């Protein structure tokens, strides 16, 4: 893969890739591989499945590159391809909770081993609750709260109307509130963050 300065935009690389320059597409993969993998990992919960989903997303992106509109942000289009790949996989198989949930050790009140364990248990419960959401809700939640996209970018990435995205996010938050309510109340009694 050729190291290109970021001055060469994704959109320029995508235009070159649309003309058949495989090296330009390889550069796009290099730039966005981690983002697509992490999106897939959060979506399915398994590292190996996430690697496969990320690879499938890039294969689909290459196959459908002709449908990319270079006047639009490439990253949003790639989010859409990756999310649709994850949604297609979710329709076939049920996500699982990865045994390797990443929780950073904290300093302060959670540095106590018992409290750190409680924090990890809470993080795992949140992770499980996210995986239990309907795929469309999970996709919206991940793009909003993990990837940090605004509502319009989520709508574009998912190919949905803005109102649908807002509804999915609202319903997802309500489901999470119900599913995690008792656990969060218990955490408040123990001063969990």
Question: What pLDDT was estimated at residue 102?
Answer: 45
Q: Which residue, 45, 42, 39, is CA-closest to 97?
A: 45
- Mean pLDDT, the chain, whole residue set: 83
Per-residue pLDDT reduced to its tens digit, 147-190? 888 999 899 888 899 999 999 999 999 999 998 886 666 655 55
- Taking the C-alpha atoms of residue 184 and residue 168, their distance in angstroms, rounded to an integer, is 22
Confidence of residue 50 (pLDDT cuts 50, 70, 90): very high
Residue 138 neighbours by CB under 8 Å, 6+ apart = 43, 90, 130, 131, 172
Q: pTM for this one?
A: 0.67
Residue 191 neighbours by CB under 8 Å, 6+ apart = 109
The highest-confidence range among 40-49, 55-64, 68-77, by mean pLDDT, is 55-64
Over range 48-75, report the average pLDDT: 94
- Taking the C-alpha atoms of residue 10 and residue 24, their distance in angstroms, rounded to an integer, is 9
Residue 54 neighbours by CB under 8 Å, 6+ apart = 33, 36, 37, 40, 82
- Taking the C-alpha atoms of residue 151 and residue 165, their distance in angstroms, rounded to an integer, is 7
Domains of the chain by range and CATH? Answer: 7-98 (1.10.1740.10), 108-193 (1.10.10.10)
Question: What pLDDT was estimated at residue 66?
Answer: 94
Question: What pLDDT was estimated at residue 98?
Answer: 46
Helix/strand number for the chain, H first, E second: 8, 0
Question: What pLDDT was estimated at residue 10?
Answer: 95
């Amino acid at each position: 893969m050729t190291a290109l300065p970021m001055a060469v935009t994704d959109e320029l690389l995508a235009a070159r890739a649309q003309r058949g320059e495989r090296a330009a597409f390889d550069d796009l993969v290099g730039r966005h591989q981690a983002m697509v993998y992490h999106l897939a990992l959060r979506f399915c919960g398994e590292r190996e499945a996430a690697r496969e989903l990320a690879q499938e997303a890039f294969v689909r992106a290459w196959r459908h590159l002709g449908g990319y509109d270079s006047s639009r942000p490439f990253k949003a289009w790639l989010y859409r391809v990756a999310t649709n790949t994850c949604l297609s996989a979710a329709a076939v198989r049920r996500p699982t909770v990865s045994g390797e949930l990443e929780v950073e050790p904290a300093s302060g009140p959670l540095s106590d081993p018992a409290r750190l364990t409680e924090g990890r248990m809470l993080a795992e419960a949140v992770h499980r609750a996210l995986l239990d959401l309907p795929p469309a809700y999970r996709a919206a939640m991940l793009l909003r709260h993990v990837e940090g996209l605004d509502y319009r970018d989520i709508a574009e990435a998912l190919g949905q109307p803005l109102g649908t995205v807002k509804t999915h996010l609202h319903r997802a938050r309500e489901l999470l509130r119900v599913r995690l309510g008792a656990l969060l109340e218990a955490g408040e009694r123990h001063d969990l963050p």
